[in-house]
Structure 1
Amino acid sequence: MDRMGDSTADPTPKVGAVRRTRSPAGTVRLAEVAAIAGVSEATVSRVLNRKYGVSASTREQVERALKEIGYERAVKGEIVLLLVPALKGPIFAAMCTAIESELNPHGLRAVICPVVPGSVVERDYIEVMLDAGIAAVVFLSSSNTLRNADPVARQLLESRGIPYMSVNGAFADSRTPVVSTDDWQAAEIAVSHLYDLGHRRIGMCAGPVGNTPADRRVEGFLEAMDSRGLSDAEDLVVRHHFSVDGGRHAADELLPLGVTAIVASSDDMALGAIRAATRRGLEVPKDLSVIGYDDSYMLDFTDPPLTTVRQPVESLAESCVRTIVTLIQNRAVQATEALIDPELRLRQSTGPAPV
């Protein structure tokens, strides 16, 4: 007797959805899985094809039965949804391209969905794509970066047994894998570089409060300043949007405070800080050093070329896809956050502190 009472489900299961790892040519025998799990064949079919109408506990029973007899989900030809902020930022375009490249050898294809983090657009994309056979979802600097984000999008995935993970920020109330750039280390790298150049009055153009990467970079900045005995660092942090205008407005507040260097939470903010400095008749890096965060090839062509802390895009993509494939194959992964070290990219926007 089916414990979920869903015997009216589609009686013609898509048995090609999984394969036996011990015998690649074989396919799932629904009766065998149903007997082990103590459910109907229709319920097994619904779990395999990620249909509605199966409780979380019953779904787990079926998944355990599949694992017990040595089956794993096939991944060829399935879709991975990438939920990402607008692609006008080079860093997000680079990450999506890198993830897509890593997915291809596994027979997976990325569908890129630009969203406003935490908005209903995330939920709408997921609802539209649920019946298109998505294999997994990656929250790439979307609602996973926000405190108290609406959980509806994740709940939809969980109700269908579709795995998901996050990049650059974890959901506080979800035990799913995460891979992130080490934002604390990024701030340490930036401060260390400027300190070695003789700067002692270092300000920060930080991202908005409540954004996980922005908050972490501020924490790292304050720790780095404190470890070097630089007092009043909290007074030299200005929070604003991740944009050129945000960086300009933040720098307009910092420059009257006598800073000789600025650490920015994004390259856009760094370029905005340079704009604010030049409008005041200051030269970069003669009068003010500026260091950004993210990195792209276009920074070689700014005036001056921008020194930045580079996010390790390729390593992030590799780790992300390795985790996604493991989740799709219903194999265990650690629900922890893996931190990947960033690196300094020296260009010409930083120099010795003015005498």
Structure 2
Amino acid sequence: MAEVKLTQLDKSYDGGKTFVLKNINLHIEDGEFVAFVGPSGCGKSTLLRMICGLEDISGGLLELDGERSNDMPPNERRVGMVFQSYALYPHMTVRENMEFGLKLAKADKAEINRRVDEAARILQLEKLLDRKPKAMSGGQRQRVAIGRSIVQEPRLFLFDEPLSNLDVSLRVQMRQELSRLHSKLKTTAIYVTHDQVEAMTLADRIVVLSPLADGAESNLEQVGAPLELYHNPCNLFVASFIGSPKMNFFRATIVEPGQKETRVKLECGTELRVCNDTRNAKSGNKVTLGIRPQDVLNHEEADGAENCITGTIETIERLGNESFIYLNHPDIHEAFIARVEDSQRRQPGAEFHVGVPAENCHLFDASGVAFSRTRSPVFD
């Protein structure tokens, strides 16, 4: 296992004029599974390659198990890298692909066989060792690519979107296998993905990165446990990125600030009560109010509710045991999404009432920073 520590890590080009990553500070504990998420261009794959040694570090400090590793060659870092592409040798069998790196390192034949057999057992590849890649499914090929890293006995696994080439059912299966693998090996792992479900399912902690904006001090937006980021995003960027469907946002103005409760007014004139601490704000301050589709009350529960928003149904996305209703509302640029369990009696064009529980609301100031919630989930 490995402890990874990044201190003020930078990646720049053009002699320091163009920054891709800036001021990244992160501490990953032994045995931890951490996911890097963020939109395209935020630098998550670049950061992974810097840890691996495939990208030079422009500034800052990378430590592996307390040892400065900025200039350490990749082969000395003892990391196992699994890429989006399987990159298997098509003319070699599964066994030959998995043992190839060990042969180049001139490892003992008996040791090679032991490691390959053990990796095959862990990944349930024993019956496929004599097959070539063309005779295997995408999920099986990805397991071989992972096995090729396991036989190196790395202290750190690095995954760069390893499941993005697989179809939906295979991704679900491979997520389960990766979770089982980490539980068994207990090896520190860093996982880059654009898929929130993968990050929320697999990771002990999630690192949210954003593209570096002009004047920004860092790409790193927030680090925390999956449910912590979901329930308590630190700013508008994290709130809009974490969660599917994404959070609904309304432009609003503070009417009455408070320590435990705040009253805000939407641009359409509707006043709502929210459980956010705005004692340092003033009446008239512009804010953004957020509410997740899963946190609203459905039409029956909303009847008579103090906090209520009314919209017109545009479309209904029926998913079986639940539906997402897309509403047109004057205070929101995109459709307002509400999750309901029963949508059979609703049709596009109809008016729909949605309850907005005060304790489920998120409030953000004009700069996008979240006001603390006064009634929110507690995390260990």
TM over 0.5: no
Q: Which has the higher strand share?
A: 2
Q: Which has the higher helix share?
A: 1
TM-score (norm 1): 0.27
TM-score (norm 2): 0.25
